[in-house]
Amino acid sequence: MLKWALIFAVMAAVAGLLGFTGIAAGIANILFIVFLVLFVVVVLLTLLGIDAVR
């Protein structure tokens, strides 16, 4: 499950870099927020011991 958290963190970082440098700013900012939220959710589920993502 932590593998998914790391994947979402990397995707959020890439979307953030693209969004804040001006390349497709609107879409990248939305993706940054979505992946950041998914990262936080997966980390919280992992800390609670819930294996929702297989």
- The per-residue pLDDT for range 20-43, each reduced to its tens digit, is 666 666 777 777 788 888 888 888
Residues sharing a CB contact under 8 Å with residue 20, sequence separation 6 or more, in sequence order: 28, 29
The structure tokens 């609107």 sit at: 26
pTM above 0.95, yes or no: no
8 pLDDT more than 60: yes
Q: Considering the chain, what percentage of its residues have pLDDT values greater than 70?
A: 78
